[in-house]
Amino acid sequence: MTNNALTNSFLVAILITTPCSVLASPIFGFNLISNGDAEAGTGSSDGSSVPSIPNWTTFGNFTVVQYGAPDFPSISGPGPLDRGNNFFAGGPSNASSSATQHIDVSSGAVSIDTGKVTFDLSGFFGGFSSQQDNAILTATFLDSSNLIINTASIGAVSNVDRGNITGLLFEHLNNFLPTGTRSIDLSLQMTRLQGSYNDGYADNLSLTLSPVPEPKTYVMLFAGLGLLGSMMRRNKLVQDVNRTKPITG
């Protein structure tokens, strides 16, 4: 390999790795919630049982129910297109139940503390018929001492929002992640306001973190592309000159 080829390879390597190095942390760019779709494990076929739910610590009769169970969201009513088999539900005979999950994001500390990491919290939330039972997902941002920096909540889809139809609607929140965040506590709270069953429902919960690219990253990228382009043109000139050089001797 010639020096020019080596230099070009080096530049290409820089161009490929520079913007991506920002994304190198394993906490960026994918759903950080484990079993956010309630599909790990078997859901209750009628809502009356309370199976254990992988990846979540539950309180009260928080449960997972199969779509299509009688008097619950159906397989084709309002809800996610990719709803799978199950959704989270508040469960039988209780006014308040919840499930929590702790997410360590300390590996992204350097990027997080620049103040240029965004979080995206989303999910489907709903309830039963004209009842006001509801589900709320709260993300609590904690520092290295597990002290609360800030919180963000979505959900609380009302019966009016649903048009008094049993089902789930999409909710979404996007904002900057507080600097100093080292872990995130997630809590899915189900609240019963009518009847005996806690009909707070939720599914397809998602929390993703994304670094906002620095403007200088683009400057470096385009500067690098320009430099690479000029070097390639120069190399082509050299090759052309070599190709047209008269054969001597």
Q: Which residues bind Ca ion (CB under 5 A)?
A: 37-38, 83-84, 86, 131, 133, 194-195, 197, 199, 203
Nearer to Ca ion, 66 or 181 (CB): 66
Measured CA to CA, the distance from residue 11 to residue 231 in angstroms comes to 10
In SS3 terms, the chain reads as CCHHHHHHHHHHHHHHHHHHHCCCCCCECCCCCCCCCCCCCCCECCCCCCCCCCCCEEECCCEEEECCCCCCCCCCCCCCCCCCCEEEEEECCCCEEEEEEEEECHHHHHHHCCCCEEEEEEEEEEECCCCCCEEEEEEEEECCCCCEEEEEEEECCCCCCCCCCCEEEEEEEEEECCCCCCEEEEEEEEECCCCCCEEEEEEEEEEEEEECCCHHHHHHHHHHHHHHHHHHHHHHHHHHHHHHCCCCC
- Nearer Cβ to Ca ion (37/171): 37
Q: Which residue is nearest to Ca ion (CB)?
A: 195
For the bound state, the minimum distance from the C-beta of residue 234 to Ca ion, rounded and expressed in Å, comes to 57
Residue closer to Ca ion by CB (options 86, 181) is: 86
Residue nearer to Ca ion on the CB measure, 171 or 199: 199
**Shorter beta-carbon distance to Ca ion: residue 25 or 35:** 35
Question: Which residue, 15 or 89, is less far from Ca ion as judged by CB?
Answer: 89
Least distance between Ca ion and beta carbon 95 (Å): 9
Min separation Cβ 149 and Ca ion, Å: 30
Tell me the closest approach of the beta carbon of residue 195 to Ca ion, in angstroms: 3
Smallest separation, CB 187 to Ca ion (Å):
19
CB of 186 to Ca ion, least distance (A): 16
